[in-house]
Structure 1
Amino acid sequence: MALSPAVNENSSVGWDEYTFLSPIEATPMILAVGKDSPYESVEALLEGIEESNGAMSYAASGATAIDGFTVQALLADADMDPLTAATVIPYRGGGELATALLGGHVDFLAIAAASLMPHIESGDMRPLMVYSPERMEALPDVPTAEELGYELAGQVIGWSALYGPPDLPEEVVAKWDEVLEGVAQSEGWLKRAEDRGSVSTIGSVDMTTYAQEQYEFYRELAESFGYLQ
């Protein structure tokens, strides 16, 4: 809702053509390699990418999807060309992305935690870094991008929010605020978020401001990486 109009000049809907109700959850992304990969740290992986001259590949939903920007932001932080240093191989959905890494069809990826945690817990994947403001409770020994000093990558995180149509009546907005306040305290909701590897963010920020900040962040990345002129 914020990323698509940021990277697409012909987007049919602007980032601000909604009534913003509330953030719902934040979804950490995880940079991971297969269990047999020789790379045991982000630094080692980046060295391997640089030495490969574009031969290494990663799976993503698309070059300008969030799981494409996870990798490209990291490459830019490492002073490599975000579009050519590694080759993006597009797949549909988290299941296909994870399968691509498990099958050895790509060298690495950085996608939503929910799609990777079962494979990390089974030992079939090795996590190198998380894209999250704080370390994940389930992966306490895995550093964040911000901790490692990756400025752009440290700002990338998945999220979802509740939007309404434009000019939603105030009484409807008030009702949603009331409902969401209850959801935020619901043990069922909090447990579901935890099971998904995400964090409940209901009511944590002003959604209009956050959506604008996210739009501007990805717009700047798209312009800097050459997707937009």
Structure 2
Amino acid sequence: MGAHEAVTPARARAGGPQPRVARPAAWSITVAACALLGACTRVDEPSHPNDAFASAPPPKAPSASAPASSPAPAPKPPPAPPLPSTKTGKVSWSQAPSGDVAPLVRAFGEAARGAGRTPLVYVGAPWCEPCQRFHKAAEAGELDRRFGDLAILEFNLDVDADRLRAAGYTADLIPLLAVPAADGRSTDKKMFGSVKGAGAVANMTPRLAALLER
């Protein structure tokens, strides 16, 4: 019988020996390879439970929650007042910055006293003739011999009237010169007004000296 001889029905009924059917060579090689490897594993089935997780993409991280609303910014501190001049024997004259008057004057007064000076608040206006004369006399050094330890913080009535009023710096006339309290508010030690003309400074200086001696 050839290698591919078929079993006929007559032979099956006769009970004769059944010939073995030869298997294709390729199929035999596949079976042998599987026997050597122990088992044939399907490609779509992992050989170990952990293999599936090794090849799978990592789980997505939970999305971050929306950030909480930012807190309101802290209020800006008031601008620092100008520091009085440390040059002795000469009137120190400074322009007041914006901001609440009392805190500004308080800080200015502390700096002035720390420098051995006497703080003084001055209120004038560009249209006030005695104000302009007094200011020019201070710039020219005409007040240094008598008031060389003064530290003056200047305000403009046209611009600063409301904030000056809140700190108690009020008067019926200008120029106004007032001695501040430790908290920066005005005390009752103040003088205001003068004559017009060349005698304005001469009118103001003795009154200012009396004010500072009170």
Could you tell me the TM-score, scaled by structure 2's length?
0.22
Q: Is the radius of gyration larger for structure 1 or structure 2? A: 2
Higher strand share: 1
TM norm structure 1: 0.21
Greater RCO (Cα-Cα under 8 Å, separation 6 or more): 1
